[in-house]
C-alpha cells in the first residue's frame, strides 16, 4: 500500500505554487506533485467526470459547465493519488462527494448506494466486484456512470458498463485545462457526505458544506 504524505495548503498555493503539495511513496516508486500540478490533475479529473456524465460535453465550452444540483459521486478508493484529484475535482464541479473505505462489504456498499443515490461511482479494479455485487443486492432505479481506476494500464477490463478513468483523462487536452472554469458554489452548499461507523445501528449520513469541511480541518491543525 502506498504511503501518502500531504503538505498543508495554508497559503502556499497562492504564494508558492511550485511548492510540494502531495507526495506518494511506495517500495517501487516515489511521486510528487506541486500545487500547480495538483491543480492541473484536479481540473483534468473534473473535466473527465463532466464528460462521463455528459458525453456531448466534449464539444461544449468549459467556461460555463452546468451540472444538475446535488449530483453525487460515490468514491470507493484506497490511498491512491486519484482520490485527491477527484476530491478536489468534485469541489470544482459543485458536486457532492461521498467517500467510502475499501473495507466495506458489498452489503455495506449496497446500503450506502441506496441512500446516497449517486450519479457516478468511482472505484479501482480490485473493488469493482464489490460494486457489482452491491448492485445485485440492492438494484438502483437508475444506472449510475461507473468509472474504474486500473492499478496498471495493461489491465484488461471485461466488465460491461464501466469506463476507464485513464481513457477519460487521456482525452483532456492542455487547452481544455486552460479553458476550464470552476462551477460557482455557495459556502453553504453541501460538498461532502460521510457515513458514520454504524456501530450502534445503521450508518447515518453526515453532510459538510464547502465552508464547514475546511473550517473543521483548520481547527484540527491549530
Which residues is 193 bridged to in the sheet? 207
Average pLDDT in the 74-82 region?
A: 94
| Cell reading at 39 | 491543480
Which residues is 72 bridged to in the sheet? 96
Please tell me which residue, 209 or 16, carries the higher pLDDT value: 209
Mean pLDDT score across all residues of the chain: 87
pLDDT digits 0-9 by tens, 39-50: 999 999 999 999
Assessment of whether the complete model's pTM goes beyond 0.85: yes
pLDDT digits 0-9 by tens, 164-205: 999 999 999 999 999 999 998 999 999 999 999 878 888 999
| Cell reading at 75 | 468514491
Residues 90/182, Cβ–Cβ less than 8 Å: no
Please tell me which residue, 58 or 99, carries the higher pLDDT value: 99
Q: Which domains does the chain have, with CATH numbers?
A: 43-221 (3.40.50.12780)
| Cell reading at 130 | 464489490
pLDDT digits 0-9 by tens, 132-158: 999 999 988 888 999 999 877 666 666
| Cell reading at 107 | 452489503
Query: Cβ neighbours of residue 16 under 8 Å, at least 6 residues apart?
Result: 35
Over 162-221, what HEC string results?
CEEHHHHHHCCCHHHHHHCCCCCCCCCCEEEEEECCCCCCCCCEEEEEHHHHHHHHHHHH
Alpha-carbon distances of 211 from 100, 120, 205, 214, 215, rounded to whole Å: 21, 23, 18, 5, 6
Amino acid at each position: 500500500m502506498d504511503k501518502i504524505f500531504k503538505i498543508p495548503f495554508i497559503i502556499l498555493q497562492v504564494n508558492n505554487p511550485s511548492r510540494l503539495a502531495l507526495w506518494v511513496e511506495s517500495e517501487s516508486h516515489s511521486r510528487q506533485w506541486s500545487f500547480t500540478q495538483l491543480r492541473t490533475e484536479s481540473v483534468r479529473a473534473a473535466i473527465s467526470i463532466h464528460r462521463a456524465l455528459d458525453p456531448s460535453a466534449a464539444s461544449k465550452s468549459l467556461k460555463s459547465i452546468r451540472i444538475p444540483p446535488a449530483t453525487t459521486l460515490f468514491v470507493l478508493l484506497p490511498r491512491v493519488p486519484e482520490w485527491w484529484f477527484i476530491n478536489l475535482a468534485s469541489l470544482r464541479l459543485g458536486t457532492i462527494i461521498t467517500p467510502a473505505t475499501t473495507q466495506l462489504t458489498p452489503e455495506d456498499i449496497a446500503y450506502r448506494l441506496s441512500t446516497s443515490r449517486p450519479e457516478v461511482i468511482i472505484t479501482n479494479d480490485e473493488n469493482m466486484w464489490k460494486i457489482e455485487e452491491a448492485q445485485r443486492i440492492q438494484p438502483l432505479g437508475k444506472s449510475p456512470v461507473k468509472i474504474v481506476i486500473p492499478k496498471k494500464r495493461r489491465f484488461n477490463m471485461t466488465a460491461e458498463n464501466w469506463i476507464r478513468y485513464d481513457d477519460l483523462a487521456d482525452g483532456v487536452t492542455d487547452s481544455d485545462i486552460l479553458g476550464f472554469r470552476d462551477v460557482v458554489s455557495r459556502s453553504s452548499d453541501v460538498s461532502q457526505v460521510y457515513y458514520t461507523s454504524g456501530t450502534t445501528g445503521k450508518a447515518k449520513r453526515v453532510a459538510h458544506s464547502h465552508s464547514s469541511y475546511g473550517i473543521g480541518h483548520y481547527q484540527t491543525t491549530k
